[in-house]
Structure 1
């Protein structure tokens, strides 16, 4: 269980950092991180980190369908987490 929590911590930190980096890149007008990469980081366990970064950095909050897909990923992960916790 601790290995899973460690993985989730790293995945969420990576997603948070990537969203922050992408926002910084957008402001500076330099090469950006593709949306597919940001969504992949979220789907790989970093949904919470990505959603938090979206709010903290005010990044891609109105960009559709990105924002809806991100919320769907986070919601699915939350449902899965609740299900798994209820089984133990």
Structure 2
């Protein structure tokens, strides 16, 4: 259980940092992080950090198409976590 929590913590911190970099790039009209990359972080388990970044940095919260895909990545990640946990007999 501890390795899973540690994994989510690390990927969430990474997601938060990447969102912050993208927010700064947006403000300065510089090259942005692709939405595909942001969603990949969510699928890989960084969605808690991404959600925190969206709220604290006010980034990507108004774009409906992004939000729909974001919540899909959350659902996919949680479904995968449930599947792995049940396969390993944790759930």
List gaps (5 residues or longer) in structure 1. Answer: none
How many Å separate the matches in 1 of 2:64 and 2:35?
11
The aligned runs of 1:25-64 (5 Å cut-off) are 25-64=25-64
Tell me the residue number matched to 1:15: 15
How does the TM-score come out when normalised to structure 1?
Answer: 0.81
Instruction: Give how far 1:82 is off.
Output: 7.9
8 Å CA contact 1:51, 1:71 repeated in 2: no
Q: What RMSD in Å do the two structures reach over aligned CA positions?
A: 2.2
The runs of 4+ residues in structure 1 deviating greater than 3 Å are 75-84
How many Å separate the matches in 2 of 1:10 and 1:18?
12
**2:68 matched to 1:68?**
yes
How many residue pairs were aligned? 87
Instruction: Give how far 1:78 is off.
Output: 5.2
How many Å separate the matches in 1 of 2:47 and 2:73?
6
Kindly provide the CA deviation profile for residues 34-78 of structure 1, in whole angstroms up to 9, marking residues without a partner as x: 000000001100111111111111111111311111123234545
Kindly provide the CA deviation profile for residues 6-52 of structure 1, in whole angstroms up to 9, marking residues without a partner as x: 11111100111111110011001111000000000011001111111
How does the TM-score come out when normalised to structure 2?
Answer: 0.79
